[in-house]
Amino acid sequence: MPRHGGRKAQSTKLPTAGPGRYDCRASGRRSGFAACERTRRRPQMSADVIIVGAGPAGMTAAIAARGLGLRVIVLDDQEAPGGQIYRNVLSSTLDSILGADFVDGRALVERFLAGDADYRPMSRVWRIDHDGVCYTGSDGSRQIKASHVILATGAMERPVPTLGWTLPGVMTAGAAQVMLKSGGIIAEAPVFVGSGPLLYLVVAQYLRSGMRPKAVLDTTPLRQRAAALRHGLGAMRGWRYLKKGLGLLSEIRSTGVRIERVDDYSFQGTSKLEAIAYRAGSVATTVDCDIAFVHQGVIPAVHASLSTRCAHVWSESQVCWTPMSDEMGRTDVDWLRVAGDGAGIRGATSAGLTGELAVLGIAEDTLEKAAEARQTRAAELKSLLRTDGAARPFLESLYRPRERFLVPNDDAVLLCRCELVTRRAVRDAVSEGCPGPNQLKAFTRSGMGPCQGRICGPIVSSTMAAMTGKSPSEVGHYTIRSPFNPVTLTEIAQLHQDSE
């Protein structure tokens, strides 16, 4: 069967869909919107490479591509480059609070801006396929085309459905960071609850700002320490990450803030958050609060990659879907590359390495000049990537979310916040024979709200897998169609096609 719009797959051999893999292209045809667009004139090449995202991976890819003389367009929906980790780094006055890792990103952002890549901030991409990339920005709605597209869409925080998680006042640790980095906003006496390095980092940043959290509730099971020790050798090779983590924990404890181990939690309130009920062993406790920041790790932001119909696989170690790709970022769609945390969670340093590798992979496929030098550089980057990722298996094992947070066991819990679909509704649909997430849309409208399945997608896959006794790879995920971001009819009608 021809792949993706009739185009032949690239020559690079990648695993095909099979056990443990779910190929979303088999679950649906081109959308009606895409079909009606076939009659439009296909644009001429606007660039050699279009990069979506201006975080560490996207910026590094742009620098590398320009170094090879490629024409580059970088599209990003933020007003300044940096992604989440380096958000507002050029104008920040909170360096002492945000820490050295944040400050280190300033040099990369400055280098990116000093280059001559065609950088287009505040550009909301809503369609990506072999006909080009459609976006709406300060220059209106445009369709641009390049020989290759690199998706550097980064990560999103893992959605964690719990009783009361939709109450006003319940936010994520990432939201706490956005408020801090963007406007220096600090919530008063919040409760932090969850697990993972980002949780400890934000707690430490709050303490540096002078705001003491009311409580820190850590859900990391002690038994997972033993499981993580199986990866001890790799953890020692990645000692820098271990040192950072131990340093954050020591910094928090030195202030007298107690990190309390808990097994379960829920949020209470009527019109807003009023308290958190939690359990540690057999002891149940309630703490009053009106602000809570929750975190259970991050997962790749794959909405854009899913829309391209490239194959995705279920990562059991990271408990999420990731695009199927090789070391050079190649997917099974010949014009599409993935880089950074959007291709699998690795962190900022590795994100930059994968961004450059994706560009070298494009050069390897399309250029001939100075091939030996590029191969040498690619080998260096792969070695650095292995070293930087050495501690990743240890961290993934230690901070793997508890099953109860991935799959709620209370029928009253909302799984799809947009359409108010509860676990009970999903259970009823499964009992009536609903086989997967896409069919669940017809049963419940789950995934059809404003977020277009970004939040409920991972939840629904894991929940239906648990209910049916299957793996998430067998159950599958939502089919994502363009436009995968909100767009008005006016923006579509006024779409301007770039040409040389």
Task: Return the H-helix or E-strand segment holding 252.
Answer: helix 239-254
Q: What is the pLDDT of residue 499?
A: 53
pLDDT tens track for 167-176: 999 999 999 9
Cα dist from 133 to 29, 141, 382, whole Å: 19, 11, 29
Q: What is the pLDDT of residue 240?
A: 87
**25 residue type, one letter:** R
| Cβ 456 vs Cβ 450: under 8 Å | no
CA distance 245 to 220: 14
Q: Poorest-confidence range of 236-245, 296-305, 454-463? A: 236-245
Q: Is residue 4 over pLDDT 80?
A: no
95 conformational bin, left if phi > 0, alpha if psi -120 to 50, beta if neither:
alpha
User: Could you tell me the sign of the dihedral formed by the alpha carbons of 465, 470, 471, 475, in that order?
Assistant: negative
The residues that bridge with 461 in the sheet, in sequence order, are: none
Confidence of residue 498 (pLDDT cuts 50, 70, 90): low
Q: Is residue 40 over pLDDT 60?
A: no
Could you tell me the domains of the chain? Answer: 46-156+299-367 (3.50.50.60), 159-296 (3.50.50.60), 407-475 (1.10.10.1100)
pLDDT tens track for 132-189: 999 999 989 999 999 999 999 999 999 999 999 999 999 999 999 999 999 999 999 9
Q: Is residue 23 over pLDDT 50?
A: no
Q: Is residue 36 over pLDDT 50?
A: no
Phi, psi of 54, rounded to the nearest 5 degrees: -125, 45
- What the block records as the tokens of 213 is 């959290």
- What the block records as the tokens of 307 is 């829309």
- Average pLDDT of the segment spanning 79-105: 95
| Cβ 219 vs Cβ 191: under 8 Å | no
Cβ neighbours of 146 (radius 10 Å):
21
Question: Could you tell me which of 168, 160, 166 has the C-alpha nearest to residue 187?
Answer: 168
Q: Is residue 17 over pLDDT 60?
A: no
Q: What is the pLDDT of residue 248?
A: 94
In this predicted model, which residue has the larger pLDDT, 42 or 425?
Answer: 425
Between the two ends of the chain, the Cα-to-Cα distance in Å is: 33
pLDDT tens track for 342-399: 999 999 999 999 999 999 999 998 886 668 888 999 999 999 999 999 999 999 999 9
Angle between helices 239-254 and 197-209 (to 10 degrees): 40
CA distance 236 to 29: 48
Q: What is the pLDDT of residue 306?
A: 97
Average pLDDT over all residues of the chain: 89
Q: Is residue 464 over pLDDT 50?
A: yes
Q: What is the pLDDT of residue 301?
A: 97
pTM of model > 0.85: yes
- Average pLDDT of the segment spanning 299-327: 96
Q: What is the pLDDT of residue 15?
A: 40
Q: Where are the beta strands (DSSP E) in 255-330?
A: 259-261, 264-268, 275-280, 283-288, 292-296, 298-300, 312-315, 320-323
Confidence of residue 308 (pLDDT cuts 50, 70, 90): very high
Confidence of residue 31 (pLDDT cuts 50, 70, 90): very low
Q: Is residue 20 over pLDDT 70?
A: no
Q: What is the pLDDT of residue 236?
A: 86
pLDDT tens track for 182-238: 999 999 999 999 999 999 999 999 999 999 999 999 999 988 988 888 898 888 888
| Cβ 343 vs Cβ 354: under 8 Å | yes
Q: What is the pLDDT of residue 16?
A: 37
Question: Could you tell me which of 142, 109, 144, 139 has the C-alpha nearest to residue 122?
Answer: 139
pLDDT tens track for 403-441: 999 999 999 999 999 999 999 999 999 999 999 999 999
Q: Is residue 113 over pLDDT 80?
A: yes
Contacts of residues 221-226 at CB distance under 8 Å and 24 or more positions apart, as own/partner, are: 221/263, 221/402, 222/261, 224/397, 224/398, 224/399, 224/400, 225/398
